[in-house]
Structure 1
Amino acid sequence: MSVTSTTPGTARAAAATRSGPTFVRLLAAEWTKLTSLRSPWWVAGVTVAVAAAITYLSAQASSGDPGFQPFDSLSSGLVLAQVGPLVLGVLAGAGEYRTGAFRTTFTLVPRRWPVLAAQTLVVAAFALGLGVLATVACVLGVLPAAASRDIPLDLTAGETPAVLLAMTLFVVGLALLGFALGVILRRTVPAMVTALVVVLLLPVMLTLAGEMASEPADPASFSSTGEGPGPITVPGMLLTFSPGGAAQEMTVPASYQPVAGSPDMSPLGGGLVLGGWVLVLLAATGVRLRTRDVR
């Protein structure tokens, strides 16, 4: 008969391995924390309802035009519904700091990068489900107008599948952007105001500035074909590479003309720019969590 001896340190390490907060447990805990609150479900419900209503109204308003195409109104419902993913992300990011629950979280899990990664994945997963539902709501909102004109809505033709995918990822990207701002600022109101300014107000201001800057003094300043958005301007460039402008670019078919003064960015390019902003903000969030004490 053999006896296996263990040192006290080895025993403690083995016990920590068996009972410690593994990443899977972190994911389950963060998912429970998010879904046990009523606010994310309310935000999701309102977002889907607004997306359906705005898309329906936009399609109905355009259905009287001779050249009406249901596809053109497909993403219109996300214009106002994009506030929902931002609110969802900000609430998920700043919620723990507003209530003080983050102290318990980081006491149980001293390593902060796994917590941030788990929270990011949970927010992304919840936002993905919301994005699918919002996209379906937009499709349903277009159907009555298409039926009234006897226009079939083929969701598998042309650029439609790419736009539907981009609409779903649009919701996910905005939710993660709001989440990162919420964690960085740690206050719901400042984070929400910042998100709305960056995503909604700034693109409008840059669009207006780009249109004024791109107005030609004579027709020769247009492209050789007499068509197109004209020369690229500084406001147009800033619009394209801003988080809000890149997000809007995701839902615009690649065959459409860009905004006046802006470079021709494809939906894929817009998604990459928005994803880059999210990664930069999440990296800044991780650095702050590692270098500052929890207070």
Structure 2
Amino acid sequence: MSIPVLTLTPRRVLRSEWHKLWTVRSTWYTLALTSVLTITLGIVTGTTYDSGGDGKMDTVVLVLLGMQFTQILIGVLGILVTAGEHSTGMIRSSMTAVPRRLPVLWSKAAVLGAVAFTVVLATNFLTFPLAQTFLSGTDQAASLSDPGIARALVGNAAGLTLLAVMALGLGALIRSVPGSIGAFIGGILILPEVLTMIPYDIVDKAVRYFPAKSLESLTHAHQSADSASPGAALLALSLWTAATLATAGLLLKRRDV
């Protein structure tokens, strides 16, 4: 009796990465904490908002203040998907099963991107109406049908998803969970704030297209004068993510596992 030989296909690699993502407890914890933080901080912001404010803060940015924390959580999840496997040695099994290596990286990115976008998008569209029940009658009152609101909620989900995939690429580059987290927080979240202290217009304009600042622009329902347009911000963040993944893929082909 002959034993059937299973052919390695992109679909099977994707399925494998899907199962690996959901069988790790950190995935459940991180995604759950991301949703809980976003919803909780959105409600707290709504209940504590001073209706006598000047209304200068963008409504979506106000409701999604939890983004300051969730972008770290979503980044850590992306790092664990790749650097976590290197730290445990599981990556050797993955590369043995898929000798071409690159399909593993692309599949990890696709699975993480799909999951992150779905969870964050659902969380955003739940958080906004909940927060608005407390903001009704204030200068921050708005509805999903107002111009720019739905686009900003979707833009925030897309931006956080791209950050997660970028962190995944960073984890594949550095191969160390602590090192990757340090690089993510320092290079992506802190560096732009430091650069804004440099008193040159060209620096200010360049920082607008850094990952964290691009995410802020995508979260605005109404474009501010000192931020990039949503389209430009999405393009910039996509290019940062693509460059990180491409570099990780190049080194993955050249380095020993």
TM-score (norm 1): 0.78
Structure 1 counterpart of 2:46: 59
- Aligned CA RMSD, in angstroms, stands at 2.3
Unaligned 5+ runs, structure 2: none
Question: d(CA) in 2 for partners of 1:47 and 1:195?
Answer: 17
Alignment of 1:269-280 (within 5 A): 269-280=232-243
Choose from 72, 78, 82 the match for 2:71: 82
Contact 2:218 2:234 in 1 (8 A): yes
Question: d(CA) in 2 for partners of 1:108 and 1:255?
Answer: 47
- The Cα offsets for residues 48-89 of structure 1, whole Å up to 9 and x where unpaired, read as 111122222333343422555855523322122211110110
Please state how far the C-alpha of 1:137 moved relative to its aligned partner. Answer: 4.3
Question: d(CA) in 2 for partners of 1:118 and 1:237?
Answer: 34
Structure 1 counterpart of 2:28: 41
Contact 1:53 1:141 in 2 (8 A): no
- The Cα offsets for residues 66-122 of structure 1, whole Å up to 9 and x where unpaired, read as 555855523322122211110110111211101101111111110111111111111
Contact 2:61 2:220 in 1 (8 A): no
Contact 1:94 1:183 in 2 (8 A): yes
Question: d(CA) in 1 for partners of 2:188 and 2:126?
Answer: 22
Q: Mark the CA change 1:254 to 1:153 in structure 2 (over 3 Å): closer, same or farther.
A: closer
Pair 1:181-2:167 in alignment: no
Choose from 109, 125, 135 the match for 2:114: 125
Choose from 88, 98, 113 the match for 1:99: 88
Q: Mark the CA change 1:62 to 1:257 in structure 2 (over 3 Å): closer, same or farther.
A: farther
Q: Mark the CA change 1:105 to 1:239 in structure 2 (over 3 Å): closer, same or farther.
A: same
Q: Mark the CA change 1:198 to 1:60 in structure 2 (over 3 Å): closer, same or farther.
A: farther
Contact 2:209 2:228 in 1 (8 A): no
Contact 2:53 2:139 in 1 (8 A): no
Unaligned 5+ runs, structure 1: 1-14, 215-232, 259-263
Please state how far the C-alpha of 1:291 moved relative to its aligned partner. Answer: 1.4
Q: What amino acid maps onto 1:117 in structure 2?
A: W
Please state how far the C-alpha of 1:148 moved relative to its aligned partner. Answer: 6.1
Question: d(CA) in 2 for partners of 1:151 and 1:279?
Answer: 36
Q: What amino acid maps onto 2:32 in structure 1?
A: G
Question: d(CA) in 2 for partners of 1:62 and 1:269?
Answer: 31
Question: d(CA) in 2 for partners of 1:93 and 1:129?
Answer: 20
Pair 1:253-2:216 in alignment: no
Q: Mark the CA change 1:89 to 1:38 in structure 2 (over 3 Å): closer, same or farther.
A: same
Q: Mark the CA change 1:117 to 1:71 in structure 2 (over 3 Å): closer, same or farther.
A: closer
Please state how far the C-alpha of 1:153 moved relative to its aligned partner. Answer: 3.5
Q: What amino acid maps onto 2:165 in structure 1?
A: L
| Stretch moving more, 27-36 or 191-200 | 191-200
Pair 1:287-2:250 in alignment: yes
- Secondary structure, in 3 states, of the residue corresponding to 1:19? coil
Percent of aligned pairs with the same amino acid: 24
Considering Cα pairs closer than 8 Å and 6+ residues apart, tell me whether 1 or 2 has the greater RCO.
Answer: 2
Alignment of 1:130-141 (within 5 A): 130-141=119-130
Question: d(CA) in 1 for partners of 2:61 and 2:210?
Answer: 24
Q: What amino acid maps onto 1:87 in structure 2?
A: V
Question: d(CA) in 2 for partners of 1:202 and 1:246?
Answer: 14
Choose from 170, 176, 191 the match for 1:202: 191
Question: d(CA) in 1 for partners of 2:171 and 2:246?
Answer: 14
Q: Mark the CA change 1:63 to 1:35 in structure 2 (over 3 Å): closer, same or farther.
A: same
- The Cα offsets for residues 178-207 of structure 1, whole Å up to 9 and x where unpaired, read as 101111101000000111112321122223
Q: Mark the CA change 1:287 to 1:56 in structure 2 (over 3 Å): closer, same or farther.
A: same
Please state how far the C-alpha of 1:147 moved relative to its aligned partner. Answer: 3.6
Structure 2 counterpart of 1:7: none
Question: d(CA) in 2 for partners of 1:130 and 1:159?
Answer: 21
- Secondary structure, in 3 states, of the residue corresponding to 2:40? helix
Please state how far the C-alpha of 1:154 moved relative to its aligned partner. Answer: 1.9
Q: What amino acid maps onto 1:46 in structure 2?
A: L
Structure 2 counterpart of 1:166: 155
